Amino acid sequence: MNNNNNILLIDPAFDPASSSACNLLVKVGTDHLSYAIINKETKQVYVVFDQQECEDGTLKLAERLKTDLYLALAYQEVKTAVHTDNVVSIPNEVYNETSLNTHAKFLTGVNHGNLYTQSLSHFGFTTIFALPKATDQILNTHLTNSKRYQHNAGLFALAEK
């Protein structure tokens, strides 16, 4: 850890030229930013970055996208989990994919970008969420093919197993 509350761990065997065989996982919180580069086939973690206690995770992501060479590499898959207050969980019994805008009326914020869904069928509900417009724009510009998840998606994935 350095004086900026950053942790950067890099496997010396990691060759950035092999990034197309790896996945980039990014987590943006209200006051932190983390990412990891992993190879799903070999289950090897090559790079881990974590910054705690930053003023705004989205702004920190925008800053790192301009300066961090690892975020500029081409990956097999990019997944982003972003904290948002604009999230609502709908029981699968009443969830209707064609009524997405009706369900979205329960979101708290009006300054949001696109609507995203995450099916958690194992738990019996589907989550609808919207990221702040600024975050959506950053992801659409720099991590164009990223899949977006709600901030606690990793926790649900662990609980499902």
**Tens-of-pLDDT digits for all 161 residues of the chain?**
445 668 889 999 999 999 999 999 999 998 899 999 999 889 899 999 999 988 888 899 999 999 999 999 999 999 999 988 888 888 989 888 887 777 777 787 655 568 888 888 889 898 988 888 888 888 888 888 899 998 888 888 888 77
Give the structural domain span for 51: 6-160
d(CA 132, CA 123): 26
Strand partners, 35: 26, 49
- Tell me, what CATH number does 90's domain have? 3.30.420.250
How many domains in the chain?
1
Q: Which of 84, 82, 78, 92 is nearest to 19 (CA)?
A: 78
Model confidence, pTM:
0.86
Residue 71 belongs to some domain of the structure: yes
- Does residue 42 form part of some domain? yes
Q: Single out the residue of 68, 83, 78, 81 nearest to residue 145, CA to CA.
A: 78
